[in-house]
Amino acid sequence: TKNSMLRAAAAEVATKHARLATSALHGVLAVNKPPGISSAGLLDYLKRNIGLDSSCFPFSEHFAREQKLRAPGTKLKRPHSMSQLRVGHGGTLDVEASGVLLIGINRGCKHLDKFLKGGKTYLANNCLGVTTDSRDAEGHILNLSNTKHVTHEMLDGVLPQFVGSIQQTPPVFSAIKMGGKRLYEYARKGQSAPEEIKARTVLVDQITVTHFENPGHETSGRRVALPRGVSEYFAQGRY
């Protein structure tokens, strides 16, 4: 109808004005990335929607689409973005991780390196005795070990060997580039990396166990209250 055509034209004009306005935006944002979406996926959403108002694409729908993109064997790709906005992120958070992701907008991208020189603090919820092919909660379980004998004291005795300047070999499920591809691209196809993955020097200042629980045997420390959304995420059988 004529009215619907007018509304569509008005929406298109409003979107173009919003896109023009974003070209004047410059700065760095601290975005709280939720678990379940990649850093690149979140960046894609921001690039498409910064500066928009009522025409902003619902994040829940974008989140669901990103999960489909990551499904094994999928051939789907992100649709091309017409946005002229330049965006970038400082550092990368794993898909299953939640936390602060620094986003640069236009000239703000030049300042992202300034924020990568400081230390970082992580809060992790770990399950002992489980081995996966990706070395995290996303992979397929390869082995389950009996951990009934493990105590808080035993754990405290082992952790010091992971503190200080240590050598750490990245898993094949990582974003490191090798042979023109990300390592996880080889892993998802069941292929081996084209060359040996070299260990890297990692500096760990401190590791503290705030809460330890071995069901039916020992419970110690103080359980850290996770944000509601994060606690619900871990309650879905993740670890």
Query: Residue 237's pLDDT is what?
Result: 46
Question: Judging by beta carbons within 10 Å of its beta carbon (0-12, 13-18, 19+), is residue 124 exposed, middle or buried?
Answer: exposed
User: Exposed, middle or buried, 157 (CB in 10 Å: 0-12/13-18/19+)?
Assistant: exposed
CA distance 201 to 190: 27
Q: What residues in the chain have per-residue pLDDT under 70?
A: 1-23, 53-55, 72-76, 79, 81-83, 216, 221-239
Which of 94, 113, 136, 205 does the annotation list as catalytic? 94
pLDDT at 222: 62
- What CA–CA distance (Å, rounded) separates 186 from 178? 10
Global pTM? 0.65
C-alpha angle with apex 116: 182 to 103, nearest 5 degrees? 75
pLDDT value at position 239?
45
pLDDT of residue 238: 46
- The verdict on whether 94 is a catalytic residue reads yes
- What's the confidence (pLDDT) of residue 206? 92
In degrees, to the nearest 5, what angle opens at C-alpha 199 toward C-alphas 196 and 204?
160
Q: Which two tokens stand for residue 17?
A: 């004005």
